[in-house]
């Protein structure tokens, strides 16, 4: 079995002022998912104001829905974003704390979210959606970057959004809800944007719910909780007799699950469960997706399209292929039947419906899993040519029995290494050898 495009991926996410390997100008500020960084360092009120102005000018000075997650820096950056929108002649429609997928769904002429998604509390940034709720293309982001130093004519205004949360909840319940009576669920809200929303939705649908990490204080978003740290949820489910646990990230665009024994069910497994239950003919995934997923889909006659890492690339492929289901191992599960983007709550409800009364562990067991070993090398943002050559050599040698993937992160200053094989020991050895080569090349540069 072979998987296309699994050698070195996501070169487009490297932030740089120089031309990329294809001779195109790279984005300086936009990464895999918006503009983000540590507040007070790469992310400042001045930069966010410029982004607000540039994005509004790019969209045509219309109405801009603005949401944010629960970070302490959010209100000040929201105000800066609004200043930029107003200076560009637009109307900033402020919705306050609102999950990222809700902003996409309710986007007006533009939708902007002050958020750093799954990153720690000291990070923040801006995500951008067009008037259809779609994430922008690389070309769109380059056009916005070209307007960062543009001046506005002023004359804009600020409004408060009217019950954006209520409208979003009604839409999600209508399109993705089902009878959850008898289901006992622990819901980890990551002290983020779903804290005041998700537990109530599950209860409304009949589930017995215990809410975790649902008391945001500005400094605890994604801190020891949520989709990036499942330890608390695993412990709670393991000792509490729950049927399953659901964990969101801080802005609500991704989710992961744990089964009744507290074992992790990742995005690949969730996607597999949903693909079989929904009866789709096509599913879109990224280069990080487990080879066991590809094997299962091939056995079931479901076509798989593979993209670079980043849910926006999955979304682009879904629209191009006319598909409705896709996602990432990290928990971006995208169901476009009634939505415009990935939505953690919609994905969680789709998973619950797909179980059809089965235990989560039983449903997840249908997908074989290759062993994966991962390592992040901090400080490097470019994959050295010698590493690329070695990865290509190893993948030729493995010939489908495993693989190695090396890519720069689109959201953090690091290189990610993934090795996959049927045996855990082989995966670990492959990962360690490539990671050491990356470090050695970085030292010698």
Residue partners of 180: CB distance under 8 A and separation at least 6: 202, 205, 206, 207, 352
- 230-239 in b/e form (b: 16+ CB < 10 A) is bebbbebbbe
Q: Do 3 and 294 form a contact (C-beta atoms < 8 A)?
A: yes
What 8-state DSSP symbol labels residue 73?
A: T
Beta pairing, strands 333-335 & 325-327: antiparallel
117 is catalytic: yes
Q: What angle do CA 327, 120, 418 make, to 5 degrees?
A: 45
Which position among 73, 117, 380, 409 bears the catalytic label? 117
Q: In angstroms, rounded to a whole number, what is the distance separating the alpha carbons of residues 212 and 192? A: 11
Q: In angstroms, rounded to a whole number, what is the distance separating the alpha carbons of residues 169 and 223? A: 26
Containing 230, the helix (H) or strand (E) segment is: none
The CA–CA distances, whole Å, from 57 to 35, 98, 264, 282, 306 equal 17, 24, 44, 37, 34
Containing 69, the helix (H) or strand (E) segment is: none
For residue 182, count other CB atoms closer than 10 A to its CB. Answer: 10
Task: Please report the DSSP string for 343-394 in residue order.
Answer: -HHHHHHHHHHHHTT--HHHHHTTS---EEEEEEEET--S--HHHHHHHHHH
Just list the catalytic residues: 117
């Amino acid at each position: 079995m072979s998987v296309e495009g699994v050698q070195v991926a996501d070169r487009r996410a490297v932030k740089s002022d120089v031309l990329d390997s294809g001779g195109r100008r790279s984005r300086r500020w936009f990464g895999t998912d918006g503009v983000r960084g540590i507040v007070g360092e790469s992310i400042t009120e001045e930069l966010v104001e410029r982004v607000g102005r540039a994005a509004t000018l790019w969209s045509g000075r219309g109405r801009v829905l603005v949401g944010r997650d629960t970070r302490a820096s959010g209100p000040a950056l929201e105000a800066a974003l609004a200043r930029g929108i107003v200076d560009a002649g637009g109307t900033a429609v402020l919705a306050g704390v609102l999950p990222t997928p809700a902003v996409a769904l309710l986007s007006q002429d533009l939708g902007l979210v002050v958020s750093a998604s799954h990153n720690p509390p000291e990070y923040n940034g801006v995500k951008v959606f067009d008037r259809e709720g779609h994430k922008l293309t690389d070309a769109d982001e380059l056009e916005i970057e070209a307007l960062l130093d543009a001046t506005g004519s002023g004359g804009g205004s600020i409004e408060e959004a009217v019950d954006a949360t209520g409208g979003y909840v009604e839409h999600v319940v209508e399109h993705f809800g089902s009878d959850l009576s008898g289901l006992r669920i622990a819901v980890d809200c990551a002290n983020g944007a779903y804290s005041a929303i998700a537990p109530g939705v599950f209860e409304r649908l009949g589930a017995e719910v215990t809410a975790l990490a649902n008391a945001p204080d500005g400094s605890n978003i994604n801190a020891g909780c949520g989709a990036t740290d499942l330890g608390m949820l695993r412990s709670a489910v393991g000792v509490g007799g729950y049927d399953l646990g659901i964990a969101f990230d801080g802005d609500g665009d991704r989710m992961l699950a744990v089964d009744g024994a507290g074992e992790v069910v990742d995005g690949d497994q969730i996607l597999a469960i949903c693909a079989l239950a929904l009866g789709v003919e096509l599913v879109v995934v990224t280069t990080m997706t487990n080879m066991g997923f590809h094997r299962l889909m091939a056995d079931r006659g479901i076509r798989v399209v593979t993209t670079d890492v980043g849910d926006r690339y999955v979304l682009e492929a879904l629209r191009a292929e006319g598909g409705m289901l896709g996602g990432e191992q990290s928990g971006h599960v995208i169901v476009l039947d009634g939505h415009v983007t990935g939505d953690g709550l919609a994905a969680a409800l789709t998973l619950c419906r797909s179980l059809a009364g089965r235990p989560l562990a039983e449903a997840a067991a249908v997908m074989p899993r290759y062993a994966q070993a991962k390592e992040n090398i901090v400080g490097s943002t470019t994959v050295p040519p010698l590493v690329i050559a070695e990865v290509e050599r190893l993948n030729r040698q493995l010939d489908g029995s495993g693989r190695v993937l090396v890519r720069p992160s689109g959201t953090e200053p690091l290189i990610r290494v993934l090795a996959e094989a049927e045996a855990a020991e082989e995966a670990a050895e492959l990962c360690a050898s490539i990671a050491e080569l990356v470090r050695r090349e970085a030292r010698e540069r």
